[in-house]
Chains A and B, each alone.
Chain A
Amino acid sequence: MGWVLAIPALPAIAFAVLVALPRRIRNTLLWVPVSAISIAALLSIGAFVRVLPGGAGIVVWQFHWPLARIGGHLLELGMQLGPISAVMLLTVSFVAACVEIYSLGYMHRDERVGWYFAVLSLFTSAMLTLVLADNLLLLFAMWELMGLCSYLLIGFWFELEAPRKASQKAFLTTRVGDLGLLFALFVIFKQTGTFAMTPVLASVGHWAPGVAVAAATGLLLGAMGKSAQVPLHVWLPDAMAGPTPASALIHAATMVAAGVYLIARTMPIFVAAPPVLHATLIVGAVTALLGGLLAAVQHDVKKVLAYSTISQLGLMFMALGAANVVAALFHLVTHAFFKSLLFLGAGVIIHAARTQDMREMGGLRKHLPVTTATFAIGSLALAGVPPLSGFFSKDGVIAALLEAHQYWAVATVFLVSLFTAFYMTRLYFRVFEGPEQIEHLHEGHASMIYPMTALAAVTCVLGAASVAFAVFLGREGEWPTLGLVLASLAVAGTGIGTGWWVYGRRSVVVNTRVYKERVPGLYGVLQQKFYFDLVYETVIVKPYMALTEALAAFDLRGIDGVVNAVARGWVVMSALSWRFDSSVIDGAVNGVASIARDSGKRVRRLQSGRLQTYQRLVLSAVVLLVLVLVVYVVVKGV
């Protein structure tokens, strides 16, 4: 079963190969990462088959690789293959394969396409490793690695300002959550003395009181950052500045789902901490509502999808809040497929319309039929229309909440579904129907169409697997009840109907200014995205930037000042030493010469050549001698 390792290893090798090569060669080797992920996808099918028929807590394969021994603890790489991992492997590798094939068409004209594929491969490898991980440290490492890849991919077009700022924002915001995750790891290690997940999860029951709460809180924070839950959601809409296929993979299907996966995997800890579980539910609810509301007022196609993702992730969190891993994961899987489909479709739309603003689009259906069809399928799935997969997974969430008797949460989900249906209808009609505003529209390449078709196909049929999915994961599954079916239909219908009524009936471009003027306050709040960005900017970002500038100034003036002062000191010293040398040393040397010369000059005056000078000399000497003699005699005599 060691071949399971190849699943994450192949994309990693593809990355290693690409990254080592110069750009020109790299750009020609795109078949390497694509084949790597395709093979990994096939192997994932194999792994899935091996895990069948599944069941709770089944472990089909394990892998341990000791890395180091620190103190008394063994540090090792631990991986295992169970039902959850198998499902995730399949989802991630399949969606990643579709995205990479799509990227061949979408990105082929970009001069750094090789690097794009390299980072994409690295990311995929990290995600695949993460879902196989049985060791919290390994999970954390992959977590961070994915954060890095996200940063690189969002900021792929770093020449522009928006991607640069967005990638920083994403990285920093998720960092806040990552601190929580790290804290949780510390708590867990302190309690259990190991990072291996299986023993940790098994021992939860024996933990000291409060430890589970602490650990679960940290885990929740980490998940909130990665999965863009309120209030750490602000990075996801901005992350749309990256290439669309990357958004499809990372910010719709996989990376943002990692938070959900984390909580799902560590559910025993959460179960042991009911307050945190409840908090998860509330967080999910708030996020779902906020996402839904804001998606309805976005003009950028990708931003609509981004907020929609936030909203759907909120739903997954709500399911987790009801301690229902199966429902959350099923919705995660279906969402991965139809959301990535929607994103890829958006890529085609944007590519064709050369704009991202849906107010400038219209009538694309005539020119992009396949895209329209697949996009419609994805939209309906998102809106929860049966028999598409989205309906089944959303129903699963509702059922989970009902089971947990969280009726208010159920109402929230219905409200969110209403919004979802509304804004997707809005999006559809704005883009595909109505008068054409753009010329020269054309359908996407084959490399873009086929993956979308594949994803749409999955979206259509995946719903049928909802019960099997539950059983696979070790739970009893049931089909949605008739009541739920009708309620969902009603909600979706209402949403779609409203959307159609506002946006679909006209044959001219819809101007919704009238509506906006009726509710200026509400609209203003929505426009400002509930002021999250504004508050963060004012309270956190601006003071922090001021601090960094102050520190930079300190560095410049202080440290550089010291360095420069030392340098100036050297210059002064060398000048002084030069002066010393020239004046003192040379002065001494010259002085000696001067003394010799001047004293010579003075003494030379004796040699005046004049008679009287010599006479004076002689007589003075004589008189002096005599005087000495006289004084001597006189003194002696006395």
Chain B
Amino acid sequence: MPDTVSSIAFGLFATLCVGGAIGMLVSKNVVHAAFWLLEVSVATAGIFFLLHADYVALVQLLVYSVAVAVLMLFTIMITLRRIEDAIRPRDFSAIAAVVGLVFGGMMLFLLSRYTWHPKSAVFAADIASIGRQLFSLRLWALPFEIASVLLTAALVGAVWWAREDDR
């Protein structure tokens, strides 16, 4: 029974993801597309929950759903003069479609042929263990610090770029 539930759950979340992604691509309204992205990120969080990665799911929600999506919406609003500017054509590119299809097709094909041997160890993805490993010098402390620096640089850069010209 847990299998069935997880299968259904997976199916639901997967459909939501893919559907949302398609929705995002197909939408003529940029604002709507942003909302679709929001929906995808939420559905992904659900996927993460299914993978027993609760913390990551939450971080996903915080970062993507809230920060990224909102940021996008704000930017769209700023660059929009009129509401009509939000409506754009669908922008089809054959090369892009081909590349996407070939790549996706290839991956699906390979994945379907591969026989997985999953490890059945305990997946301790709780906050405590993540925190412990994140700050341990032997493990992820360095990348953590570097990530911080990265964020700072990005912050500075974004502030710089986004300021008004008439200064």
Please list the residues of chain A having a beta carbon within 8 angstroms of any beta carbon in chain B: 612, 616, 619-620, 623-624, 626-627, 630, 634
Contacts and interface: CB of A to CB of B under 8 A. Distances in A.
A296 B99 CA distance: 125
B102 interface: yes
A446 B95 CA distance: 124
Nearest to B103: A623
Contact of A620 (B99, B106, B109, B110): B99
Contacts of A612: 93
Contact of B95 (A616, A627, A634): A616
B122 interface: no
A3 to B, nearest CB: 122
Contacts of A620: 95, 98-99
B106 A630 contact: yes
Given A616-B93, A623-B103, A626-B103, 20 more contacts: A612-B93, A616-B95, A616-B96, A616-B99, A619-B99, A619-B103, A620-B95, A620-B98, A620-B99, A623-B99, A623-B102, A623-B106, A624-B102, A626-B106, A627-B102, A627-B106, A630-B106, A630-B109, A630-B110, A634-B113
A626 B103 CA distance: 9
Contacts of A630: 106, 109-110
Interface of B: 93, 95-96, 98-99, 102-103, 106, 109-110, 113
A616 B96 CA distance: 7
Nearest to B94: A616
Contacts of B106: 623, 626-627, 630
List 6 tightest A-B contacts by C-beta distance, closest first: A616-B95, A623-B103, A619-B99, A623-B102, A623-B99, A620-B99
A626 B109 CA distance: 13
Say what secondary structure dominates the interface of chain B. Answer: helix
Contacts of B93: 612, 616
A271 B102 CA distance: 126
Nearest to A619: B99
Nearest to A624: B102
A619 B99 CA distance: 7
A634 B106 CA distance: 11
Contacts of B110: 630
Nearest to A621: B99
Nearest to A617: B95
Contacts of A619: 99, 103
A399 to B, nearest CB: 132
Contacts of A626: 103, 106
A626 to B, nearest CB: 7
A626 B99 CA distance: 11
A626 B107 CA distance: 10
A620 B98 CA distance: 9
Contacts of B95: 616, 620
Contacts of B98: 620
A610 to B, nearest CB: 12
A634 B105 CA distance: 14
A612 B99 CA distance: 13
A349 B130 CA distance: 160
A624 B102 CA distance: 8
A620 B103 CA distance: 9
B102 to A, nearest CB: 5
Nearest to B113: A634
Nearest to A631: B106
16 contacts: A612-B93, A616-B95, A616-B96, A616-B99, A619-B99, A619-B103, A620-B98, A620-B99, A623-B102, A623-B106, A624-B102, A627-B106, A630-B106, A630-B109, A630-B110, A634-B113
A299 B114 CA distance: 138
Nearest to B105: A627
Nearest to A633: B110
A540 B93 CA distance: 97
A627 B109 CA distance: 11
A319 B110 CA distance: 138
A174 B102 CA distance: 109
A621 to B, nearest CB: 10
A121 B93 CA distance: 111
Nearest to B96: A616
A38 B110 CA distance: 136
A158 B110 CA distance: 114
Contacts of B103: 619, 623, 626
A173 B96 CA distance: 105
A634 B111 CA distance: 12
Contacts of B99: 616, 619-620, 623
Contacts of A634: 113
Contacts of A623: 99, 102-103, 106
A616 B98 CA distance: 10
Nearest to B110: A630
A598 to B, nearest CB: 22
B13 to A, nearest CB: 27
A437 to B, nearest CB: 119
B19 to A, nearest CB: 24
B99 to A, nearest CB: 5
A367 B106 CA distance: 140
Residue of B93, B98, B103, B113 contacting most chain A CB atoms (<10 Å): B103
Nearest to B93: A616
Contacts of A624: 102
A626 B105 CA distance: 12
A619 to B, nearest CB: 5
A623 B102 CA distance: 7
Contacts of B109: 630
Contacts of B96: 616
A616 B95 CA distance: 7
Contacts of A616: 93, 95-96, 99
A616 B103 CA distance: 13
A493 to B, nearest CB: 135
B145 to A, nearest CB: 32
B133 to A, nearest CB: 33
A612 B95 CA distance: 11
Contacts of A627: 102, 106
A6 to B, nearest CB: 117
B98 to A, nearest CB: 8
A52 B99 CA distance: 137
B90 to A, nearest CB: 15
A606 to B, nearest CB: 12
Nearest to A630: B106
A51 to B, nearest CB: 128
A626 B110 CA distance: 12
Nearest to A626: B106
Contacts of B113: 634
B113 to A, nearest CB: 8
A256 B95 CA distance: 113
B84 to A, nearest CB: 24
B155 to A, nearest CB: 24
A612 B91 CA distance: 12
A529 B132 CA distance: 155
